[in-house]
Amino acid sequence: MFRIAPSILSADFARLGEEVRDVVASGADWIHFDVMDNHYVPNLTVGPLVCEAIRPHTSAPIDVHLMVKPVDRIIPDFARAGANVITFHPEASDHVDRSLALIREHGCQAGLVFNPATPLHHLDHVMERIDVVLLMSVNPGFGGQKFIPGTLAKLRETRARLDAYERESGRHILLEVDGGVKVDNIGEIARAGADTFVAGSAVFGAASPTDPHRYDSVIAAL
């Protein structure tokens, strides 16, 4: 089963609640929520207050992608704000195992995010703490960048690793991809092993010409 997770980074922030309702009504499965701190990444976005503000607008899972350092002190705030999934970058946490455990203790699904140059060995020893692996297919910080082709080989390697883990443990871990996902490349990204697709500019840049509140055609095409 595939999931489409529109990134609200490319939405109209002046009418975020409506944008969230519109993409979910148009077929989105998750809402991807990009948190940037102008420290770990060179951009500044939104925090738990905004997550809390959109929570009543949808029952779809909110997928919080933390691009912040440090990680731990913001986790409980996002859990209280209604996040369902919380992912972070291993380089941004001094104690990856502890951060993963903290996310689950607060009732959320936990995941690690891999930048294009971050090796997969960060998965070693923590697989049982992970519900989602998120591979970045751009360098984090901005929407609207071009998909880095080397991600396809990394996706295949990750897929093999997660499949092997599932055979031995019976646990299914989601494989999400983030950055430059478009209608014309999502097929090969899926064939490389991803099952959950973040798409920001592709979705919010493609409202129906006749109804600016509908994103059906692009979400269906994805």
Give me the active site residues, please: 34, 178
Q: Between vectors from CA 174 to CA 142 and to CA 139, what angle results, nearest 5°?
A: 20
Please enumerate in sequence order all residues whose Cβ is within 8 A of that of 67, keeping only pairs 6 or more positions apart, or say none. Answer: 34, 35, 36, 37, 40, 41, 89, 92, 113, 140, 141
How many beta carbons lie within 10 A of that of residue 161, not counting itself?
Answer: 17
Name the 3-class secondary structure at 122. Answer: helix
Site residues (CB under 6 A) for ligand DX5, limited to 19-48:
32, 34
Question: From the CB of 137, what's the least distance to Zn ion, in Å?
Answer: 10
Is 2 labelled as part of a ligand binding site?
no
Q: Which does 201 bind (CB under 5 to 8 A by kind): ligand DX5, Zn ion, none?
A: ligand DX5
Q: Which residues bind Zn ion (CB under 5 A)?
A: 34, 65, 178
What, of ligand DX5, Zn ion, none, does residue 180 touch, CB below 5 to 8 Å by kind?
Answer: ligand DX5
Side chain identity, residue 115: N
Which residue lies nearer to Zn ion by CB, 22 or 34?
A: 34
Q: What are the tokens at 158?
A: 């990750």
Decide which of Zn ion, ligand DX5, none touches 9; Cβ closer than 5 to 8 Å per partner kind.
ligand DX5
CB 132 to Zn ion: min, Å: 12
